[in-house]
Amino acid sequence: MAVIINGDTGIDKITDGSVVADDLSSTLDLSSKTITLATDAAVVSKLSTASGSAPSYSARAWVNFNGVGTVAIRGSGNVSSITDNGVGDYTVNFTTAMPDANYVYNINGDRGSSVTVRYNTTSAVVSSSLRFQTRENQTPATDDEEFIRVAIFR
């Protein structure tokens, strides 16, 4: 990648590897400059941690929340809120909707013990949210879970 700085005297180019962090001043004033980062489309389409030739896709939304009592989000990305629809029945609401309802979701959770939880969606999958229920394997009844983690891929 090359960095192009358009200053008062024209265009200066800094090519790959020609500037190291030690060469830059902490008082560098670029307020009157236009900076353009030239990119290679093939490089941009890959994640920096990817290896091999298969494409990589990052999560479009994720959330870790407490589903017991008043639901509380511990951490999230592209999730605006969680709706508690009743015992063991939750809706994850996306900040920015998916392009369509053809996404993949992964849900896991527990109560902080070795209890295995199963999940099922309770309504049609829509682009703006995902509704699901949590249940113990041993019983058919819905049940609140302390640790619920959801990841959305599209």
pLDDT at 1: 45
With 90 as the cut, is the pLDDT of residue 19 above it?
no
Residue 15 has pLDDT above 80, yes or no: no
Q: Compute the distance between CA of residue 104 and CA of residue 150 in angstroms, rounded to an integer.
A: 11
Q: What is the pLDDT of residues 35-47, one digit of tens each?
A: 665 555 555 555 5
DSSP state of 42: H
Structure confidence at residue 71 (pLDDT): 95
33 or 24, which is more confident?
A: 33
State the SS3 of 93-150: EECCCCCCCCCEEEEEEECCCCCCEEEEECCCCECCEEEEEEEECCCCCECCCCEEEE
DSSP secondary structure string, 10-30? EEEEE-TTS--GGGS-TT---
Alpha-carbon distances, residue 97 vs 41, 73, 148, 151 (angstroms): 25, 19, 21, 14
* Most confident of the ranges 75-89, 107-121, 122-136, 140-154: 75-89
Whole-number pLDDT of residue 54:
78
**Rounded CA gap, 71 and 146, in Å?**
9
Measured from the Cβ of residue 25, the count of other Cβ atoms closer than 10 Å reads 6
